Amino acid sequence: MANVPNDLKYTKDHEWVRELGNGRVRVGITDHAQKQLGDIVFVELPVVGRTLDTGDAFGTVESVKSVSDVFAPLAGKVTGRNEELDSDPELVNTDPYDEGWLIEIELAKGTDLEGLLSAAAYGEWITEGA
């Protein structure tokens, strides 16, 4: 069973969102996603300052099995990226919810976390075979 922390929000595309305050969030891929991908060997992230709409592909995660797009769970501007992943992409495997985060976003005006899944709802989603 995948680790699904209760303090985060989730998407059906297997991204997680952590509120940082002041209209900012941190985004990564879930434990379930990294397990499905296998050993991650490369992560491509957007430049700081890029504007994203909800659902935009903002980067890729490459594993020994495949390359997968990562999608913006919310609209806003990229204000940070995890530079550690350039030299240590396997952090996404070993610590997907902390050291393996991907980007930080300053949310666009009027954007909130209401459309995202709770931990319980995401847990049900992946249990159903998503």
pLDDT in tens, 18-44: 999 999 999 999 999 999 999 999 999
Residues 6+ apart with CB under 8 A from 103: 26, 27, 45, 46, 58, 59, 78, 80, 81, 82
Q: For residue 120, what are its two tokens? A: 């319980």
Give me Rg for the CA atoms of the chain. Answer: 14
pLDDT of residue 6: 95
Q: Which tens digits make up the pLDDT trace of 56-113?
A: 999 999 999 899 999 999 999 999 999 999 999 999 999 999 999 999 999 999 998 9
Q: Evaluate if residue 16 carries a pLDDT over 90.
A: yes
pLDDT of residue 65: 87
pLDDT of residue 1: 53
Residues 6+ apart with CB under 8 A from 69: 57, 59, 60
pLDDT of residue 60: 97
Q: Evaluate if residue 129 carries a pLDDT over 90.
A: no
pLDDT of residue 128: 85
Chain-centre distance for alpha carbon 41: 17
